[in-house]
Structure 1
Amino acid sequence: MNLSSPTEADYLGIYSIMFWTLTLIGVVKYVCIALNADDHGEGGTFAMYSLLCRHADIGILPSKRVYAEEDPLLHSQSAIARRPSRLGKFFEQSITARRVLLFIAVLGMCMLIGDGILTPAISVLSAIDGIRGPFPTVSKPVVEALSAAILIGLFLLQKYGTSKVSFLFSPIMAAWTFTTPIIGLYSIVHYYPGIFKAISPYYIVHFFLRNKRQGWQLLGGTVLCITGAEAMFADLGHFSKKAIQMAFLSSIYPSLVLTYAGQTAYLIKNVNDFGDGFYKFVPRPVYWPMFVVATLAAIVASQSLISATFSVIKQSVVLDYFPRVKVVHTSQHKEGEVYSPEINYILMVLCVGVILGFGGGKAIGNAFGVVVIMVMLITTVLLTLVMIIIWRTPLVLAGLYFVPFFIMEGAYVSAVFTKIPEGGWLPFAVSITLAMIMFGWYYGRQRKFEYEMTNKVSLEHLGELLARPEVQRVPGLCFFYSNIQDGLTPILGHYIKNMSSLHTVTIFVTLRPLLVAKVDQSERILINRLGPNGVYGCTVQYGYADNLSLEGGDDLAAQVTSCLQWHIQMDTDGRQSPEEEMAQLEAARLAGVVHVRGKMRFYVGEDAGWFDKIMLGFYEFLHGICRSALPVLGMPLQQRVEIGMLYKV
């Protein structure tokens, strides 16, 4: 609280700010508008970015662009709906605008990951701090140690999946949602029955006229009243839109309105208790039950952000924007339930470090406020683009949305930026670190893609290589993985020249990530013949929410083989009869299956520029510590072969 001696009018103004922030941002922006900007059921800033990329050619990586006429999920739309708007054409023609848009989407994603670090820390720390009410002798280090221990236990349980304990979440959150407003109503009746007059915007105007600069700085704290709305949108893939809307409007929103009203009523009669406004307004007879409920609710809230962080990282890895980490699906029934060991333990170390390093909750709250409002501002910008480019909303109506929310959230951003020296720097440090990792990975992958496209092996050259007398066709079924679609990877030529052989049936597999949430199973695997006998091309299309590990079912190789058999039966244009091709495929499968993956490394020479030396050296470091792509696809270790090749820069 920046106000040295708050008055009744000050508290009424603060409650009015919180009420209208909840109503406008929580109800109008997120529940009524943003939840409609889903990408096949997935929400969040990255989902909106993928939605924009699917309706206009505004992607950056050539391998990641999804043109409207190529996207099978858009075939049902009319030509008018797929035609870019003026704003869409501007982004298509400006590489700078596309880079800025990608930067905004990545920043929003990084900030959400920062949210996954700060939410567990501030939620658990604030709940456990309630011990100091009845026991003032308990020191802050003890509270911090207890909070850290609870978080460590929570992170150690992540590998078992949230489905094992999710049956407890609803009762806990129901208890929290329905008990706090009851206490709020008691506080309103007992302390200040006329609290709801503060709904009038008059009290907001009066508050800022009275407090001026101090009132503006106080916005950095009041923004915390709307925390969770950004996570609600990001978690859209775990719940249906209607379920979120019904839950928020019927329980969450009225619960928060009554709870904040009750706290404000208490503070009006106890003006100097603003340091701990929650536990102080809880009546003594129900203090300990509320302490237990608050602690359990903090753990559930922490779990939701941890799960959202896993989902965001998985989406980034699937689309090759982030170094490969292990992603485990902890539920056979819920595809969105994932767990990453590396990310889990990194989050655990950072959360515990935040608690022990920052000490009090004020600095963590400052950092938390920066994360929350930055994600919301980025959502406003991307949602406006979705309105204009995809929904074709008239500019006047889009402006009626953009201008008020941009001004409101811009005011909050300007206020929380003053908190950067007091802890607000943390999310920026995390975001910059993550952005550097993502950009270093992106730059290296882009350079590799450019090299492969320049030195790709054409089908004519493949025929020439196989026609050489020293090259033999050996028995077996080979899955040869490639990063390019128009042509074959240069590692193929390197492989044939050194091994002097190629398997009788060779399938060149290209994994093609699309900027969509999910790809229909019928469009997942595309097969075609490549000319030489027994050589096929295969494109595996998948979205950022699709599961490629295929645990508990057929692996990718089995699915590709099944699709190839169907293709042989349906396509009679081959050099052999379908019966001969099927027999050749079955004989190759029985002879043995091998998965070949190229491992192209950069050799940075002395004549390379300093930028390439730094960025490609950083990429090679990331590439060296990240996981291989083949284990993600469930390939047996004994069937994997890696072929190394150096590319001099």
Structure 2
Amino acid sequence: MSLEVENPASTDSTTNRLSLKRHDSLFGDAEKVSGGKYHGSEVNWARTLHLAFQSVGIIYGDIGTSPLYVYSSTFPNGIKNNDDLLGVLSLIIYTLIIIPMLKYVFIVLYANDNGDGGTFALYSLISRYAKIRMIPNQQAEDAMVSNYSIEAPTSQMRRAQWVKQKLESSKIAKIILFTLTILGTSMVMGDGTLTPSISVLSAVSGIREKAPSLNQTQVVGISVAILFMLFSVQRFGTDKVGYTFAPVISVWFLLIAGIGIYNLVIHDVGVLRAFNPWYIVQYFKRNGKDGWISLGGVVLCVTGTEGMFADLGHFNIRAVQISFTGILFPSVALCYIGQAAYLRKFPDNVGDTFYKSIPESLFWPTFIIAILAAIIASQAMLSGAFAILSKALSLGCLPRVQVIHTSTKYEGQVYIPEVNFMMGLASIIVTIAFRTTTSIGNAYGICVVTTFLITTHLMTVVMLIIWKKHLVFILLFYVVFGFTEMIYLSSILSKFIDGGYLPFCFALVLMTLMATWHYVHVKRYWYELDRVVPTNEMTTLMEKNDVRRIPGLGLLYTELIQGIPPVFPRLIKKIPSVHSIFVFMSIKHLPIPHVIPAERFLFRQVGSTEQRMFRCVARYGYSDRLEEPKEFAGFLVDRLKMFIQEESAFRLNEAENDEASSNEVSEAQTRPIRSTQSVVHSEETIQPRVSSSRSGRITLHANQTVEEEKQLIDREVERGVVYLMGEANVSAAPNSSILKKVVVNYIYTFLRKNLTEGHKALSIPKDQLLKVGITYEI
């Protein structure tokens, strides 16, 4: 509910007065609070440079440690022709320029959702401009929050409007977009699982240069121990070690750049000819199918690129652009150039290029920094994977599990215990099973390139309906990047049986779980929506069940954002009592990253004022954290008291307007029979005084009533807050298909029973929780 001052242009004595206008849609109007801040907002250059330095440690660990294994993965059977090194180096250089630099740093980063990036951020951005979600998510109140910013199409946007209408009217298009989104999320999760395996294993393998007696089994054992430690400390969060990230990775970049320059000068400066792309053409002419297959190793030079976009919420676009072009690209490019120069003289050492090309005096410092860099690379990808999954949770694609925010400085850094355990277990199993970086790389590349392709397709939709770019630009973007990524994907798929099947199996399982949960979530929502009790029947419902009021504040959680949920009639039939202050509470996640606190709560009166029953919708962005129960209750009570005050002000204003209109009508009826002007003036001066006096008494009474209501709320809160939740058992209807019964009765039920329950996700204390059981057949 909001109050707005209105000043009409009319000069009429009644309409000239300042009046309060209420926008009363489904839940009341949201307060129009401007100036909402979000990640990525404009900052000064000093702050931008500081963020650029921090970004080096947070988002470049993965792509920065790729030189550990790219050449060995590209030439698993050795180097047949020395000139092949020039072709591969040219491929590496231009792949770095085309995909991470041109596509991500200078195009994709601008498609952020109010500062946040990632696959789900793109999906939520599109869903705000077109109604593509299975559950309605666009209400008038939501569009008024500061970060929402919906732009209505105009006649100049015909193509965008046409595409938008096609998306909204096509169920298949909606399913395709949703499938692409969860596939991209699954691949990023696969990336987060495989990054620790390949990074740590490749870094640890270097120890065999100084301890050749170690066999591969012992190297794997050391790697598993490091991985176990890595996943064990996730609960402490990256914030605890965040200050060491940027310095360590910066030292790493200085080392690899310096070693690259050393190898270039000492061994073969001629490899700089690789900047000529003609060497790529010659490479493919010379190697044919083998050259095409080797692209699966080359593409590993851009692993972690999606992390630049997914972790954008911690920084801003300019900071990422500066750190990539000024630090990452030159350092990594010099490292690859130096390795190529070394291999021109020692082609037999391609299996362990990185460590063999290090000068003797720098080996141990580089080895230690490499281990730390590999751990940081893994940490960064895990943090990104947790952040993306938390967004999926917010959009109803996974069960409500506990999301722990590990950083007070970076809001996007979260930790999900159940997911950490499963990813850690999978990463250790992969390391033990595959044993070598080459085998893991075959699976790793599929995750990376599939995510690239999905981002390209979602970006094309963004360009069509949101950016409204010229068709030539859109086609150029889609053809150049889509064609490049398709070539790489086709190469990696040739290694399907050599480990490439792993991410597909992983993605299939995760997509099945996400699709199942979302399907039942949508079905359950519509089931409840079809059986809601209209709010205007609340009084009748209470009288029919002879409901008595008990002390305290009751919060009944429901996923519905309209009407009275079907679990409430069941509650008062079984236990015909309701708390003195009763709130139907909905937690609603908008498809934006943040909702500022002033716009968090929307209230609506349910039934008569004396019943003191309210509807409340608490709105969160997918990167907002849920407050602790005590803090949440405090915020809610404060906003409830403000709502009561606003309602009283509105009713008072309404009464004054009615009285003023009545006086005006009475005055107009008596004016024709008045004989002298003096009488008219006398009556016109007396009437406002009487009205003003009466208005003052009404205002005083209203203020007293409001204060009494506020005191009553405070007293009831002191008596206790009780949280009520519907425990819905969802099952497939008897006439459902076998597939639907399997999905609903087995897969969904398994997820609901074995993952964290809703009250734990909301951090509701057990001693304040009351569950109400109900069964739905969908």
* TM-score relative to the length of structure 2: 0.80
- What are the within-5 Å matches in structure 2 for residues 238-257 of structure 1? 238-257=314-333
Q: Deviations over 1:146-169 (max 9, x none)?
A: 000011111111111212112211
CA 53–78 in structure 1, closer or farther in 2 if over 3 Å, else same: closer
Q: Is the 8 A contact 1:370 1:424 kept in 2?
A: yes
Distance in 2 of aligned mates of 1:469 and 1:367: 62
SS of aligned partner of 2:536: helix
- What are the within-5 Å matches in structure 2 for residues 527-542 of structure 1? 527-532=603-608, 533-542=611-620
Q: Report whether the alignment pairs 1:578 with 2:706.
A: yes
Select which of 69, 72, 79 maps to 2:145. Answer: 72
Distance in 1 of aligned mates of 2:279 and 2:407: 50
Q: Deviations over 1:345-377 (max 9, x none)?
A: 111111111110111111101111111111111
SS of aligned partner of 1:60: coil
Cα shift at 1:473: 2.0
CA 114–68 in structure 1, closer or farther in 2 if over 3 Å, else same: farther
Cα shift at 1:78: 4.8
Distance in 2 of aligned mates of 1:621 and 1:256: 46
Q: Share of identical aligned residues, percent? A: 36
Q: Which ranges in structure 2 are unaligned for 5 or more consecutive residues?
A: 1-74, 653-701
Deviates more, 1:321-330 or 1:626-635: 626-635
SS of aligned partner of 1:505: strand
The equivalent of 2:467 in structure 1 is 391
Q: Report whether the alignment pairs 1:366 with 2:467.
A: no
The equivalent of 2:426 in structure 1 is 350
Cα shift at 1:5: 4.5
Matched residue type, 1:426 = L
Select which of 397, 414, 417 maps to 1:321. Answer: 397
Distance in 2 of aligned mates of 1:592 and 1:369: 55
- What are the within-5 Å matches in structure 2 for residues 144-543 of structure 1? 144-468=220-544, 470-532=546-608, 533-543=611-621
Distance in 2 of aligned mates of 1:77 and 1:446: 24
Q: Deviations over 1:545-578 (max 9, x none)?
A: 0111x25x95222211110001111211579832
Distance in 2 of aligned mates of 1:339 and 1:569: 40
CA 65–75 in structure 1, closer or farther in 2 if over 3 Å, else same: closer
Select which of 619, 633, 645 maps to 1:569. Answer: 645
Q: Report whether the alignment pairs 1:641 with 2:758.
A: no
Cα shift at 1:37: 1.0
Distance in 2 of aligned mates of 1:78 and 1:292: 52
Q: Deviations over 1:183-213 (max 9, x none)?
A: 1111111111121111111101111111111
Q: Report whether the alignment pairs 1:544 with 2:617.
A: no
Cα shift at 1:215: 0.7
Cα shift at 1:469: 6.3
Distance in 1 of aligned mates of 2:410 and 2:520: 34
Q: Deviations over 1:18-67 (max 9, x none)?
A: 110001112111111111111111111111111111111122233x4578
Cα shift at 1:512: 1.2
Matched residue type, 1:632 = A
Q: Deviations over 1:596-634 (max 9, x none)?
A: 111111244654431221011111111111222233333
Q: Deviations over 1:514-536 (max 9, x none)?
A: 11111122221111112232111
Distance in 1 of aligned mates of 2:545 and 2:335: 82
The equivalent of 1:602 in structure 2 is 730
Distance in 1 of aligned mates of 2:473 and 2:235: 46
Distance in 2 of aligned mates of 1:316 and 1:545: 11
The equivalent of 1:622 in structure 2 is 751
The equivalent of 1:31 in structure 2 is 105
Deviates more, 1:142-151 or 1:528-537: 528-537
The equivalent of 2:93 in structure 1 is 19
CA 397–54 in structure 1, closer or farther in 2 if over 3 Å, else same: same
Q: Is the 8 A contact 1:117 1:347 kept in 2?
A: yes
Matched residue type, 2:624 = D
Distance in 2 of aligned mates of 1:536 and 1:344: 39
Q: Is the 8 A contact 1:465 1:496 kept in 2?
A: no
Q: Is the 8 A contact 1:57 1:67 kept in 2?
A: no
SS of aligned partner of 2:582: strand
The equivalent of 1:632 in structure 2 is 761
CA 644–69 in structure 1, closer or farther in 2 if over 3 Å, else same: closer
Deviates more, 1:139-148 or 1:85-94: 85-94
Q: Is the 8 A contact 2:143 2:149 kept in 1?
A: no
Distance in 2 of aligned mates of 1:142 and 1:302: 21
Cα shift at 1:327: 1.5
Distance in 1 of aligned mates of 2:341 and 2:117: 36
Distance in 2 of aligned mates of 1:13 and 1:435: 38
Distance in 1 of aligned mates of 2:726 and 2:709: 27
Distance in 2 of aligned mates of 1:121 and 1:564: 51
Q: Report whether the alignment pairs 1:46 with 2:120.
A: yes
Q: Report whether the alignment pairs 1:613 with 2:686.
A: no
Distance in 2 of aligned mates of 1:66 and 1:307: 32
Q: Is the 8 A contact 2:545 2:572 kept in 1?
A: no
Matched residue type, 1:539 = V
SS of aligned partner of 1:85: helix
Q: Is the 8 A contact 1:518 1:546 kept in 2?
A: yes
Q: Is the 8 A contact 2:349 2:356 kept in 1?
A: yes
Distance in 2 of aligned mates of 1:116 and 1:88: 33
Cα shift at 1:306: 1.2
Q: Report whether the alignment pairs 1:126 with 2:202.
A: yes
The equivalent of 1:589 in structure 2 is 717
Distance in 2 of aligned mates of 1:24 and 1:308: 23
Q: Which ranges in structure 1 are unaligned for 5 or more consecutive residues?
A: none
Matched residue type, 1:50 = S
Distance in 1 of aligned mates of 2:407 and 2:630: 16
Q: Is the 8 A contact 2:199 2:374 kept in 1?
A: yes
The equivalent of 1:61 in structure 2 is 135
CA 98–133 in structure 1, closer or farther in 2 if over 3 Å, else same: same
Distance in 2 of aligned mates of 1:279 and 1:272: 13
Q: Is the 8 A contact 2:128 2:591 kept in 1?
A: yes
The equivalent of 2:632 in structure 1 is 556
* TM-score relative to the length of structure 1: 0.96
Distance in 2 of aligned mates of 1:41 and 1:218: 37
Q: Is the 8 A contact 1:54 1:68 kept in 2?
A: no
Matched residue type, 2:765 = P
Distance in 2 of aligned mates of 1:186 and 1:469: 85
SS of aligned partner of 1:386: helix
CA 97–77 in structure 1, closer or farther in 2 if over 3 Å, else same: closer
SS of aligned partner of 1:347: helix
SS of aligned partner of 1:273: helix
